[in-house]
Structure 1
Amino acid sequence: MPSRLTHMLAAATALGLGYASTGIAAGGAYPVKPVRVIVPYLPGGITDSVARLVARQMSAELGQPFIVENRAGADSLIGTRAVKEAPADGYTILATSNAFSILPALKKAPGYTPLTDFRGIGPMMTAPFVLDVGSGQPYCSVQDLIAKAKDNAAPISYASPGTGTPNHIATEIFFRKTGIQGLTHVPFKGASAAVIEVASERIPFYMDAYATSAPHIRSGKIRPLAVTSARRIAALPDVPTLVEQNIDFTYEYWLGMLVRAGTPDSVVERLSSALRQALTTPALRERMASEGATVRFIPPAEFDGIIRKEVEDIARLQSDLRIEKQ
């Protein structure tokens, strides 16, 4: 019959092996269990669809499930805060848009500081917006829309997926470039809800991701007037840029992945490498191009630099436009 000492030694040995196992996982065997990918938006939008594409490829690369969870609410703050509060071990990833950089300048209590509480893995894609109007609206060009927007006798409204989203900020910059003032902002809970309102003629126009508006463009319910990139996109070769229409304005948003600050360098490098491999997948690249997006790998340190500059730029914009923090 084993002695009490034997049991104690066995327990100590098992405990020691447990510690060794944990050390190996932290130091080089990551990942050893499923990884959660938190999307702070509702299902069906561009961030959700791209995150699922990329997560599938990263799962194949790293040999563990990458489980996408939608944690929408409070203009993406609920999901972002959930990742901030998770352990800094690489098993909870934030897949978000550059609203991540924007919201701290627009919210009184965002609950996070971008590069203090997080560190980047890398962008999944960049893409322009499409300036959409309902097909029944009387606007055949951007100049038609601008003229109507400046007609104070008949004010119009515009949609966004939420206050502080890249769509909202891009629209505000567009107004600034064109001298438009006083339009009513109607924020919705997600891109899918906003584009339906425009397709249904209840809201006159909206700057949207092509991926979200594409079904409505194909069905004829939405008319695209322009894209915000410097060049036309392959998905909409007949739609001119704003620059072509004599408006000095370009804007591209990013969708990217981040983890909590304090996540080990080795884990961030492993995730970055997996993301890089995922972005080389021909099927993924073709799908991104079909959705009007560009895929380009950027290392974590460079991605952090992009976020840092964006945070500074948005803070200046908030001050210049006197956007009241909510």
Structure 2
Amino acid sequence: MRLICPFAAGGPTDVAARLVADGLTNVLPQRVLVENRTGSGVVVGTETVAKAPRDGYTILYSTIAHAVLRPLFSSLSFDPVADFRPVALVGTVPMLLMVNKDVPARNLQELIALFRDKPGRYDYGSSGAGGAVHLATELFLRQAGDLKVNHIPYRGSAPAMPDLLNGNLTMFLNVASDGIASVQSGATRALAVSSAQRLPQLPDVPTFAEAGLPGYEAYTWHMLFAPAGTPEEVVNALNQAVNKVVRMPNVQQRFTELSVQPRSDSTPASAAAWLRSEMAKWEPLVRESGITAN
């Protein structure tokens, strides 16, 4: 069985995909191999699965990127909804709003006031235009009062962190796993976490709601998809296998290290509902903000 990951090898999504693939190899009769198919964002890898046989032997491991394909790309050879069958929501990944330690704001409301008082003076980094970090930050700026902060896209999260650490970048709303260590060491300051609950690793960092921005939540997430038309019994068997893997203690422990909040009770129907809700949330933001894929 091929598990197509449309992200580069060694990145956080690839690490999680390989963890799930190893678990599935122990649960299913087949060996599951991760195949990284990158290009045009996630388009190349996603297209591979859209055009694969409907037998359950080629599946997709993707993220929030799947939910914004339609507004980001004017021409696709596949339909992100009609050509796929969600199998299981594997987990959600919260984000951590960090500022460099020289920023005078000590909490979220002070940061909002700083941005409001000096529009266009400050900047924020992202892991790339149209990615989860970019979307989550734009949603924050919009909900906080259409704040004007300059966007600096990087090629991934790793190149942005040094600029945050050395003070060349004001703010970085990054996936939590990439920022926890710098916050714990005091190299950066965390003002809020984007999940509904606080992170166990950073119990003193409030949620956005607790910090004064109720209604704000943002995640990237991990989901398995099969090509549309895959037999129902195959989809259900894959779903049960994935849930079994997510409940494994070693997987739970590794997910905690990656700041992935596991979902071990997902069904194909609930995964499809999650995807619809995420598309309804993010597609209008992409269109109205004029975000394009670089």
Of 49, 52, 69, the residue aligned with 1:83 is: 49
Whole-angstrom distance in 2 between the partners of 1:208 and 1:109: 29
Does residue 1:187 correspond to 2:187, yes or no?
no
| Alignment-mate amino acid for residue 240 of structure 2 | S
Partner of 1:287: 254
Partner of 1:278: 245
Whole-angstrom distance in 1 between the partners of 2:103 and 2:10: 25
Q: CA deviation at 1:324?
A: 5.2
Of 220, 233, 236, the residue aligned with 1:269 is: 236
Partner of 2:221: 254
| Alignment-mate amino acid for residue 220 of structure 2 | Y
Whole-angstrom distance in 2 between the partners of 1:148 and 1:107: 34
Does residue 1:150 correspond to 2:150, yes or no?
no
Backbone CA RMSD of aligned residues: 2.4
Does residue 1:165 correspond to 2:150, yes or no?
no
Does residue 1:112 correspond to 2:64, yes or no?
no
- Preserved CA contact (<8 Å) 2:129 2:292: no
Secondary structure at the aligned position of 2:62 is classed as strand
Of 202, 219, 222, the residue aligned with 1:236 is: 202
Change (3 A) 1:190 1:84: farther
* TM-score, normalising length: structure 1: 0.80
Secondary structure at the aligned position of 1:244 is classed as coil
Whole-angstrom distance in 2 between the partners of 1:228 and 1:177: 13
Whole-angstrom distance in 1 between the partners of 2:135 and 2:182: 23
In the TM superposition, 1:38-187 aligns within 5 A as 38-152=4-118, 155-187=121-153
Total equivalences in the alignment: 291
Whole-angstrom distance in 1 between the partners of 2:173 and 2:187: 15
Q: CA deviation at 1:96?
A: 1.2
- Preserved CA contact (<8 Å) 2:56 2:230: yes
**More deviation, 204-213/114-123:** 204-213
Whose RCO is larger (CA < 8 A, sep 6+)?
A: 2
Whole-angstrom distance in 2 between the partners of 1:129 and 1:312: 20
Secondary structure at the aligned position of 2:206 is classed as coil
Q: CA deviation at 1:119?
A: 0.9
| Alignment-mate amino acid for residue 280 of structure 2 | E
Unaligned runs of 5+ in 2: none
Partner of 1:29: none
Whole-angstrom distance in 1 between the partners of 2:8 and 2:168: 21
- Preserved CA contact (<8 Å) 1:75 1:189: no
Change (3 A) 1:139 1:105: same
Change (3 A) 1:115 1:232: same
Secondary structure at the aligned position of 1:276 is classed as helix
Partner of 1:9: none
Change (3 A) 1:324 1:224: closer
* TM-score, normalising length: structure 2: 0.88
| Alignment-mate amino acid for residue 83 of structure 2 | D
Change (3 A) 1:223 1:245: same
Change (3 A) 1:152 1:163: same
Unaligned runs of 5+ in 1: 1-34
Give CA deviations for 1:98-124 in whole Å, capped at 9, x if unaligned.
121123123222443222111111111
- Preserved CA contact (<8 Å) 1:125 1:256: yes
| Alignment-mate amino acid for residue 290 of structure 2 | I
